[in-house]
Amino acid sequence: MSTALNVAVLTVSDTRTPDTDTSGAFLEEALLAAGHQIADRQIAVDDIYQLRAIVSRWIADPGVDVVLTTGGTGFSGRDSTPEALLPLFDKTIDGFGEVFRAISLSEIGSSTVQSRALAGMANGTVIFCMPGSTGACRTAWEGVLRDQLDSEHRPCNFVGVLRGH
């Protein structure tokens, strides 16, 4: 049995509501199906300081192991998730964005260069920031997150890092 993690999900959007947040709903369903717990789920407008405030609360909470964000990672309009969250990271997980874009290349072609997907560790919490489309969340989940949040995945996974192994 894989170790259950407590995961907070944040949808970054100026327009989504609980009824239209298909990306957040997908992540929640995938997490629950994998045996994880939802510590919190919120929707926030794309504002650097609101995003930092929400994620800062979660990384300060010992009951939150993982933060997944969806949205705000592109180049259009007010997309500011990287600018909001990168200063909070103690360490970056460069491989997440690299692998996400490599997988996305076969799905959306060169448009993947406009993804600023990123990840990092902050105060013992792992944070993964994905684009806002449900397809991108599915790509990230199936291509990276499902395995990296599974304590049985070898040769390594983030559960061991989170649990101090």
Write the pLDDT tens digit of every residue in 39-57: 999 999 999 999 999 999 9
Q: What is the residue-averaged pLDDT of the chain?
A: 94
Using a cut of 0.85, tell me whether the model's pTM lies above it: yes
Domain positions in the chain: 6-162
**CATH (residue range 6-162):** 3.40.980.10
What span, in angstroms and rounded, lies between the C-alpha atoms of 23 and 59? 22
The predicted-structure confidence for 107-138, as pLDDT tens digits, reads as follows 998 989 989 999 999 999 999 999 999 999 99
CB neighbours of 26 closer than 8 A, spacing ≥ 6?
Answer: 134, 137, 138, 141
